Amino acid sequence: MLNRSLTAVLVLCSMPSCVRPQPAPASPPVANPPEQTELRALLVAHSSHRFDAAAQQRGCPAEQSLGEYVATLVRNTSNPEDASDDRSRFTLACEAAQSWPATPMDPPASPAYWPCRIDAFSSDSAGESPWRYELRFRVRRSDRTLDLETFACPGGA
């Protein structure tokens, strides 16, 4: 008789009304966007990548690979490591929040990606003849890989 009662209790308590609700698992913290060292490694890993026709329509050069284009941006900034020099600037960063697309040239907005960019600027000592080009791209949040499909290269300031 005891086994029969115990069996009945087990059967009844396996029903949803008897089972205690479990707390929802905590969401994993949102990882920070990649920093310069990681971004450089991603770009170097794909330095031989050629810009496709869509990227070329977004301003990227047909005659240069990704690595060659980035090298051009670095070379044309007179001092890429000195952020205090107003005549020269080279920044490489991702944004934590999506602020793109600002123009049709920008990679499409997606919560699955961080928007990233290289901003290269230089001018002569008089502040004239400015030169400014960019490389805009995305990095996938889930596996921190470079999105090779959405490069944009605005420039010509």
Res 70 pLDDT > 70: yes
The answer to whether residue 41 scores a pLDDT higher than 70 is yes
Say if residue 110's pLDDT is above 80.
yes
pLDDT in tens, 118-127: 998 887 666 6
Q: Alpha-carbon distance 49 to 142, whole Å?
A: 22
For the full predicted model, state whether its pTM sits above 0.85.
no
Phi, psi of 91 (to 5 degrees): -120, 145
- Helices within the chain (DSSP H only): 2-13, 36-45, 53-57, 66-75
* pLDDT for 11: 41
Are the C-beta atoms of 114 and 136 separated by less than 8 Å?
Answer: no
What pLDDT shows up at residue 85?
56
